A = this chain, B = another copy of it.
Amino acid sequence: MGGSLGLALKRRGWTGGIAGWARKPGVRAAALEAGAVDRVEDTAAAAARGADLVVLCVPILAMPGLARDAAPGLKDGAVVTDVGSTKTWLEREIPAALTGTGASFVGSHPIAGSEQSGFDAARADLYEGSVTVVTASVGRAAPAAAFVREVWRFVGSAVIDLNPAEHDRIVARTSHLPHLAATLVAIAAGRDGASPAVRALCGPGFRDTTRVAAGSPAVWRDILESNSGAILDELQALRGGLESMIRVIEEGRFDEAQQKLEQGRQARLSLWKKNTGEESP
């Protein structure tokens, strides 16, 4: 996410300098080589030194620690944001990690990315056509929030303001639920191993339904932990639907099964409006 942001800012002509830090020296070298950053530093504090904006791009539970590491470099009035998929926990923990600095925090969640992670997966067009949620409470840090919105718009994302709790409840449904369903389908489909015949019969439907299951377990572990209540609500709704589907099929009530298929079709069509031309087969 961070690599893509640097590439996107550069491609679109961002005039400010961009400093980068990554835990692995090899990733720093690759980001510099690819032109995603103008310079890299050995510490988060050095990368944050003098910056107007600091974007934290690590798994959620690692973000407060990274904010603390960056804190000695933060100038007065610096803005800190992040790219995490849950917001309530971060809106509590990151401001706490920034105590004593003159920096303010605004949460961001760019809804973009793929099942790939790491700098090798960075793409300058990752944010084009995406939506980014900004969780700035109205009236708090208004200039900081405006700056954060501007940066996401600059790289091609539309911005939506939500409060953290509403954000977390909605993404549990639109992102965390599909992710866990994909994981569980992959586990079930692979439960006897992957014989050549089973692999051969995995077609476009399997490919797309399970794509996100290949995402980073470390990133998703932290999403589960930091949004477990809302996620459990979604998994219980899924369980209810699954039990009902099993019962209908067991009892041979296929007209009712068809009604459920129709209900799922209508739900999908109403939730995914951008479904012309950008579907894979």
Interface residues, chain A, with chain B CB atoms under 8 Å away: 111-115, 123, 126, 130-131, 133, 158, 160, 162, 166-167, 170-171, 173-175, 177-191, 194, 197-215, 217-218, 220-221, 224-225, 228, 231-232, 234-239, 241-243, 245-246, 249-250, 252, 254-255, 257-275, 278-281
A174 to chain B, nearest CB (A): 5
B241 lies within 8 A of A188 (CB)? yes
Q: Which of B174, B191, B241, B275 contacts A198 (CB 8 A)?
A: B174
Q: Which chain B positions have C-beta within 8 A of A210?
A: 178, 209, 264, 268, 271-272
Q: Which of B115, B198, B239, B272 contacts A239 (CB 8 A)?
A: B239
A183, B265: Cα distance in complex, Å: 7
A101 to chain B, nearest CB (A): 30
Task: Name which residue of chain B comes closest to A111, CB basis.
Answer: B203
Q: Which of B204, B252, B259, B272 contacts A202 (CB 8 A)?
A: B272
A206 lies within 8 A of B175 (CB)? yes
Q: Could you list 25 examples of A-B contacts with CB < 8 Å?
A: A111-B201, A112-B204, A131-B200, A178-B189, A179-B205, A182-B268, A184-B238, A185-B238, A187-B263, A187-B267, A188-B241, A190-B266, A190-B270, A190-B271, A209-B210, A209-B212, A211-B280, A217-B259, A217-B261, A217-B262, A218-B258, A221-B258, A232-B249, A235-B249, A238-B242
B237 lies within 8 A of A198 (CB)? no
Q: Which of B115, B189, B208 contacts A173 (CB 8 A)?
A: B189
A185 to chain B, nearest CB (A): 5
15 extra A-B contacts, CB within 8 A, seeds A199-B273, A208-B212: A130-B203, A171-B201, A174-B202, A186-B271, A187-B260, A188-B237, A189-B234, A189-B267, A194-B270, A209-B211, A214-B275, A217-B262, A232-B246, A235-B249, A278-B280
Of listed A200, A207, A209, residue having the most chain B CB within 10 A: A209
Task: Name which residue of chain B comes closest to A281, CB basis.
Answer: B114
A3 to chain B, nearest CB (A): 14
Q: Which of B131, B190, B235 contacts A246 (CB 8 A)?
A: B235
Task: Name which residue of chain B comes closest to A175, CB basis.
Answer: B205
Q: Which chain B positions have C-beta within 8 A of A279?
A: 114-115, 207, 211
Q: Which chain B positions have C-beta within 8 A of A197?
A: 160, 162, 166, 170
Task: Name which residue of chain B comes closest to A217, CB basis.
Answer: B261
B238 lies within 8 A of A188 (CB)? yes
A152 to chain B, nearest CB (A): 14
B183 lies within 8 A of A209 (CB)? no
